[in-house]
Structure 1
Amino acid sequence: LAVAASHDMGMALIPQMLIESELQKKELVIVSNKKLKGSRKYYLIHSSQDITPTIQKFVEWIYQELEQLKTNTN
């Protein structure tokens, strides 16, 4: 997933520990620092290009869906 994201093939939701090298080399950027409750931390990542309004809207939608899923499972 990280390789695909770094080649402009989309975004990935992935633990930061798996992409430390890519983040340091600025091949990937964390799109949002919003934290989700859970035992693990995941980050939505994208290539180091500018975050467009379309990407920002997608990020907001993902978090809304995750919040809804969390509400429905509790």
Structure 2
Amino acid sequence: MKKPAVSWSKRIDSMNQPYPNCFVITTSAEQKHNKQMANYADALLAFWNGKNKGTKNMIKVATKENLTVKIINFETSS
């Protein structure tokens, strides 16, 4: 999980299931990874800067799976 999501989930004492992205190497693997997360989830809370392609794909997968999707927009410093 990326830091904003971890920080937020700890603040609300949320149960979360981490899926380490260090094993995601190819676009195909990332898409399978996102599908696994969507199958486990009831909803998606995405922390997205509007640029990350992996998060964009996760939002697409979650929407296709009819999950409730909430996107928190944030800017990252470059």
Considering the TM-score relative to the shorter chain, is it more than 0.5? no
Q: Give me the TM-score of the superposition, normalised by structure 2.
A: 0.29
TM-score norm. by structure 1 comes to 0.30
Higher RCO (CA-CA < 8 Å; seq separation 6+): 1
